């Protein structure tokens, strides 16, 4: 029952996070579009521009004042709660998914780091990340936006690299996203909202607004705009082990972040000209190149003999025998339970999968952490194993992100055996 309740708690918080995140990002995208598409030619007195739009069967006329209307309206809508609840639900989700089961999702497999230490590093990184960002923005570097952006990018990727050394790939990505999310909501709370309150107060008191706060709010708002697409990628990245599960996951994250910023920049500037239209095909080409360079190396079907293993639960599987000096993996084990075969027999592969994988991926998981197979991915029967061979290869052989936290202690030899079986056709007969 505990696993069932945890799953529904995860679902509830994730749903709230998605709803509030859509509201926050949607409002942000809309106001950027609105600002960029204002008609600024010959506006009436006091206006910076206006815009006519049609949506949902109605026609709208929107006006932007240079500063404010002569009299402040009784009802002025503020956009802040979407940001706050997105961050709060995101932190709650991180607590439920990563910190309630740190050995499973947070800590890198094989690491002896204490869960409390890992959690402290994770939470501490959010505080340190925002503090460093705030300091840099208020430093002389803040007056050079391009250089500041480059420094922030380098620091975030350095954090991704550091996290990849101590956390699982999924946790490394999500903590970079959490730092970015903390920076974004911190910008709303500590810079954008104070600037807006000061502006409204100055108008109500008929005094001159302080130009410092609006300038600071504008810079932070611009940062939030460019952070959006990278953080959205991080939110969905846990579905794609070829990214976070790669040995160079931090570099993949850096590359996708650059492509995302290029795309965002095009949409930010297309109202002025199409001189950045090249960023869209460049981003598409970049994604194709990333897909190519991250493709796993698969052994040829005619590879050298692979060591087979007895189906005894305690037995281990020998590594693929040396094919050539440049690609040698290991010498076969001298274990008497291991014999040489032209191809791995399915009975041996099935034994490994049943011992290492169906603890979770079964119609009736034996793991207390799951009440049902994660993502409905089951490996109880030979037919299910054969049908899911490509996913098994991606998750357990190429990226090695499964089993989660390697809780069943799958060995490299067993991964090699499964990979060789799949390369030779994944036959179950």
CB proximity list for 34: less than 8 A, separation 6 or greater: 51, 62, 64
Res. 342 pLDDT band, cuts 50 70 90:
low
Q: Higher model confidence: residue 303 or residue 387?
A: 387
pLDDT confidence band for 301 (50 / 70 / 90): low
pLDDT score at 298: 58
What integer pLDDT is reported at residue 299 of this predicted model? Answer: 54
* Residue 311 DSSP symbol: S
pLDDT higher than threshold 80 for residue 29: yes
Q: How many other β-carbons are positioned within 10 Å of the β-carbon of residue 239?
A: 9
pLDDT of res. 372: 85
Closest among 326, 327, 260, 268 to 290, alpha carbons compared: 260
pLDDT > 70 in the chain, percent: 89
Is the pLDDT score of 45 beyond 50?
Answer: yes
Residue carrying structure tokens 């910008």 = 187
pLDDT at residue 336 tops 50: no
Residue 68 has pLDDT above 90, yes or no: no
pLDDT in tens, 302-325: 444 444 444 444 333 333 333 333
Lowest mean pLDDT among 90-94, 151-155, 326-330: 326-330
The alpha helices in 52-105, defined as continuous H runs, are 81-94
Can you tell me whether residue 364 is helix, strand or coil? coil
Is residue 69 helix, strand or coil?
coil
Interval 257-296: pLDDT, tens: 999 999 999 999 998 888 999 999 999 999 999 999 988 7
Spatial distance between the Cα atoms of 382 and 387, rounded to a whole number of angstroms? 9
The answer to whether residue 185 scores a pLDDT higher than 70 is yes
pLDDT value for 331: 38
pLDDT interval class at 71 (50, 70, 90): confident
381, pLDDT greater than 60: yes
Q: State the Cα–Cα distance between residues 32 and 29, nearest whole angstrom.
A: 5
Collapsing DSSP states into helix, strand and coil, what is residue 332? coil
Contact (Cβ atoms closer than 8 angstroms) between residue 418 and residue 349: yes
> pLDDT at position 373, please?
87
Residue 32's alpha-carbon distances to 22, 63, 73, 329, 402, in angstroms, are 15, 14, 23, 53, 41
Looking at residue 320, its pLDDT comes to 34
The neighbouring-strand residues paired with 340 are 307
pLDDT the model gives residue 209: 80
Q: 270 vs 36, 279, 284, 294, CA distance in Å? A: 9, 11, 18, 32
Query: Which residue, among 414, 393, 395, has the nearest Cα to 403 in the 3D structure?
Result: 395
Cα(268)–Cα(389) distance, rounded to whole angstroms?
A: 43
Note the pLDDT of residue 403.
92
Band (pLDDT 50/70/90 cuts) for residue 338 is very low
Which pair of tokens denotes residue 299? 């052994």
Q: pLDDT above 90 covers what percent of the chain?
A: 70
Residue 100 has pLDDT above 50, yes or no: yes
User: Mean pLDDT over residues 325-329, rounded?
Assistant: 35
Instruction: Output the pLDDT for position 343.
Output: 73
What is the model's pLDDT at position 297?
67
Q: How much is the pLDDT for 193?
A: 96
For residue 285 the two structure tokens come to: 């080409």
């Amino acid at each position: 029952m505990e696993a069932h309740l945890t799953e529904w708690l995860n679902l509830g918080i994730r749903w709230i996070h998605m709803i509030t995140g859509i509201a926050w990002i949607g409002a942000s995208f809309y106001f950027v579009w609105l600002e960029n598409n204002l008609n600024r030619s010959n506006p009436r007195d006091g206006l910076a521009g206006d815009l006519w739009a049609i949506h949902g069967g109605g026609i709208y006329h929107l006006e932007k004042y240079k500063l404010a209307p002569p009299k402040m309206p009784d009802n002025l809508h503020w956009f802040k709660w979407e940001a706050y609840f997105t961050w709060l639900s995101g932190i709650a989700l991180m607590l439920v998914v990563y910190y309630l089961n740190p050995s499973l999702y947070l800590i890198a497999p094989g690491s002896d780091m204490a869960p409390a230490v890992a959690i402290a590093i994770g939470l501490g990184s959010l505080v340190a990340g925002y503090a460093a960002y705030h300091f840099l923005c208020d430093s002389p570097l803040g007056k050079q936006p391009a250089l500041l952006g480059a420094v922030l990018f380098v620091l975030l990727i350095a954090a991704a690299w550091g996290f990849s050394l101590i956390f699982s790939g999924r946790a490394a990505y999500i903590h970079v996203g959490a730092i970015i999310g903390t920076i974004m909501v911190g910008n709303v709370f500590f810079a954008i909202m104070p600037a807006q309150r000061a502006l409204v107060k100055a108008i109500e008191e008929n005094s001159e607004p302080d130009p410092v706060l609006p300038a600071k709010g504008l810079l932070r708002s611009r940062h939030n705009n460019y952070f959006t697409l990278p953080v959205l990628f991080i939110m969905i990245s846990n579905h794609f082990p070829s990214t976070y599960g790669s040995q160079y996951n931090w570099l993949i994250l850096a590359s996708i972040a650059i492509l995302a910023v290029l795309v965002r920049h095009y949409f930010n500037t297309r109202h002025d000209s199409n001189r950045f239209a090249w960023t869209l095909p460049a981003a598409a080409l970049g994604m194709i190149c990333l897909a190519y360079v991250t493709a796993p190396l698969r052994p040829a079907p005619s590879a050298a003999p692979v060591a087979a293993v007895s189906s005894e639960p305690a037995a281990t599987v020998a590594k693929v025998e040396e094919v050539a000096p440049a690609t040698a993996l290991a010498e076969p084990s001298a274990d008497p339970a291991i014999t040489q075969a032209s191809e791995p027999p399915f009975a041996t592969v099935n034994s490994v999968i049943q011992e290492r994988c169906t603890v979770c991926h079964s119609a009736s998981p034996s793991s207390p952490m799951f009440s049902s197979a994660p993502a409905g991915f089951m490996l109880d029967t030979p037919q299910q194993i054969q049908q899911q061979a490509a996913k098994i290869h991606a998750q357990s052989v190429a990226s090695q992100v499964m089993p989660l936290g390697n809780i069943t202690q799958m060995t490299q030899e067993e991964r090699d055996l499964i990979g060789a079986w799949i390369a030779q056709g994944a036959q179950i007969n």
